[in-house]
Amino acid sequence: MELKVVQVEKPESVNLILGQSHFIKTVEDIHEALVTSVPGIQFGLAFCESSGPALVRWSGTNDEMVALAKKNAMAISAGHCFIIFLQNAFPVNVLNSIKMVPEVCRIYCATANPLQVIIAETDEGRGIMGVIDGAGTKGIEDDEQIAERKSLLRRFGYKL
């Protein structure tokens, strides 16, 4: 077995969701879950098929996000994984809908951080072992930082 690190390439402000599924129907079902969760959502989705022609299957509503999804799916190239790039929406707006898609087995991460995907490669193929999602922890929040966090969530409308 050989371990590899794949750096996900994306603009700093773009959010993504990386997950695992099990069937070619994933592309259409995730597409439907996204567009019914957030009206006008802009996204790109790519799915790595792991049998037959083993193609990157894709869909989306934004050409730039679709191009990012296809490029990164090819770089990861691990069986049955999917990657979604979001514009004008956040993962928190769509994660539950994606988790409810019958083919979805796992969500590895949802982030706007720099992301590395740890891949194991064997004679059978490639699989995602895990992810490195942003920087290591630098400390513990204090009372002022707690107040800032709570204020931010209320400003964004996530809390009352």
The contacts of residue 35 (CB under 8 Å, 6+ apart) are 41, 61
Q: What is the pLDDT of residue 79?
A: 87
Q: What is the pLDDT of residue 103?
A: 95
Which pLDDT band holds residue 157 (cuts at 50, 70, 90)?
confident
Structure tokens at 20: 């695992």
pLDDT tens by residue, 10-53: 999 999 999 999 888 999 999 999 999 999 999 999 999 988 89
Q: State the Cα–Cα distance between residues 49 and 80, nearest whole angstrom.
A: 5
Residue 34's nearest CA partner among 106, 105, 110, 85 is 85
pLDDT tens by residue, 125-151: 999 999 999 888 999 999 999 999 999
Structure tokens at 6: 């794949």
pLDDT tens by residue, 86-137: 998 999 999 999 999 999 999 999 999 999 999 999 999 999 999 999 888 9
* CB contact at 8 A, 98 and 16: no
pTM listed for this prediction: 0.93
Spans of all domains in the chain: 10-113
The contacts of residue 72 (CB under 8 Å, 6+ apart) are 8, 9, 10, 46, 83, 85
CATH 3.40.190.10 corresponds to the domain 10-113: no
Edge-first strand order for the sheet with 81-87 is 56-60, 42-48, 81-87, 15-20, 106-111
Mapping DSSP to helix (H, G, I), strand (E, B) and coil, where does residue 134 land? coil
